[in-house]
């Protein structure tokens, strides 16, 4: 696996350099200098780091067999890779998204570039391996980097199997997920007693409940955090896009609303990676821009949260 990681890092680095030469302003920070290094986050307990911005596939990649849409989603994934992305998250719940991802990866020869994360989503607690194998075939990957129990469905049985799979080298990392603020008390109890590598949860500039308990607990336990719904399913843009950014946005490294929302998230010290989803290349470029340049400090984060509350 070490060789695969090395190859992945080489491909990411070479892709970043090529894009930087073509579009240097995408990598410019507020002082006008170029910042070619993406924000990386170390996976707790390891020497491995991953980019702080990943990609979700819920809804956006569920396009069935429409060849035109598959081609367009392939361009989105291509842009994601070119700008330094690796972490892609899916689930069997997401309809055809796994098949579309598999086609896109084949078209781009992208299997060495991806940190592949999916979920176990079945009430049959004896079907963990079978569902992982089906997902592996659909994505076209030999094994997943991360397997997660989706929304705690059948988590007791699935997690026991996932621990065995991790020990056997069938998967690299394991975790659990929740979304929309559901079941946080039970989620915390599992985090306290199970040897998890990752948790996935909802966090954004308005939905901040996890700051009180789950994020500090992840830091205490050495668990990586993947953030879903960073834009509240797009509602943050619908609510705030027409509003001006604050005059001090540049001081926090923010040039647009996508960067505002994402930099608020990834600047939290407990967060490993945020996974916004998009079906548009231009939006992907904005999302990935949040991985470059200055991140807000603690006081700026408070100003950001206060600003959106005031609008």
For the chain, which residues make up each domain, given as ranges? Answer: 51-310
* The listed CATH number (3.90.1150.10, 3.30.70.260, 3.20.20.100, 3.30.420.40) that belongs to domain 51-310: 3.20.20.100
Rounded to the nearest 10 degrees, how much is the dihedral formed by the CA atoms of 120, 187, 178, 103? Answer: -30
pLDDT band (50, 70, 90) for residue 26: low
Q: What is the pLDDT of residue 163?
A: 98
Q: What is the DSSP letter of 38?
A: P
* 8: confidence class by pLDDT, cuts 50, 70, 90: very low
Q: Would you state the structure tokens that stand for residue 273, as one six-digit string?
A: 């990676």
Question: What does the pLDDT read at residue 24?
Answer: 39
How many Cα atoms occupy the beta-carbon half-sphere of 74 within 13 Å? Answer: 17
**Residues recorded for the chain:** 311
Give mean pLDDT, residues 20-42: 58
pLDDT, position 36: 61
pLDDT of 104 above 80: yes
CA 127 from centroid of its chain's CA atoms:
26
Mean of pLDDT values over 265-280: 98
Residue 220, Cβ density class (10 Å: 0-12 exposed, 13-18 middle, ≥19 buried): exposed
Could you tell me the pTM of the whole model? 0.90
Eight-state DSSP code of residue 165: H
Confidence of residue 20 (pLDDT cuts 50, 70, 90): very low
Please list the residues that pair with 274 across neighbouring strands: 53, 227
- pLDDT of res. 173: 98
Tell me what pLDDT residue 17 has. Answer: 46
Q: Enumerate residues 6+ apart whose C-beta is below 8 A from 31.
A: none
Helices assigned H by DSSP within 119-248: 128-139, 155-167, 184-193, 214-221, 235-240
């Amino acid at each position: 696996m070490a060789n695969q990681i090395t190859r992945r890092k080489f491909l990411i680095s070479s892709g970043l350099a090529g894009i930087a030469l073509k579009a240097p302003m995408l990598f410019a920070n507020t002082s006008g200098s170029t910042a070619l290094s993406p924000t990386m986050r170390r996976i707790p307990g390891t020497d491995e780091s991953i980019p702080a911005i990943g990609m979700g596939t819920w809804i956006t990649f569920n396009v069935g067999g429409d060849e035109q849409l598959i081609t367009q989603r392939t361009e989105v994934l291509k842009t994601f890779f070119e700008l330094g992305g690796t972490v892609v998250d899916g689930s069997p719940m997401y309809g055809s998204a796994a098949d579309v991802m598999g086609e896109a990866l084949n078209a781009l020869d992208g299997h060495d570039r991806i940190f592949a994360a999916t979920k176990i989503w079945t009430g049959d607690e004896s079907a963990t391996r079978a569902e992982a194998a089906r997902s592996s075939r659909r994505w076209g990957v030999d094994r997943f980097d991360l397997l997660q129990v989706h929304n705690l469905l059948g988590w007791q049985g699935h997690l026991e199997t996932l621990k065995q799979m991790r020990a056997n080298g069938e998967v690299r990392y394991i975790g659990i997920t929740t979304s929309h603020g559901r079941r946080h008390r039970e989620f915390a109890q599992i985090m306290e007693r199970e040897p998890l590598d990752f948790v996935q949860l909802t966090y954004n500039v308005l939905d901040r409940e996890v700051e009180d308990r789950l994020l500090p607990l992840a830091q205490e336990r050495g668990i990586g955090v993947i953030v879903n719904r960073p834009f509240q399913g797009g509602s943050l843009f619908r609510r705030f896009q027409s509003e001006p950014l604050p005059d001090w946005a540049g001081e926090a490294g923010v040039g647009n609303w996508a960067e505002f929302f994402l930099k608020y998230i990834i600047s939290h010290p407990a967060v490993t990676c945020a996974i916004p989803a998009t079906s548009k290349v231009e939006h992907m470029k904005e999302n990935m821009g949040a991985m470059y340049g200055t991140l807000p400090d603690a006081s700026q984060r408070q100003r950001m949260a206060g600003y959106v509350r005031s609008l």
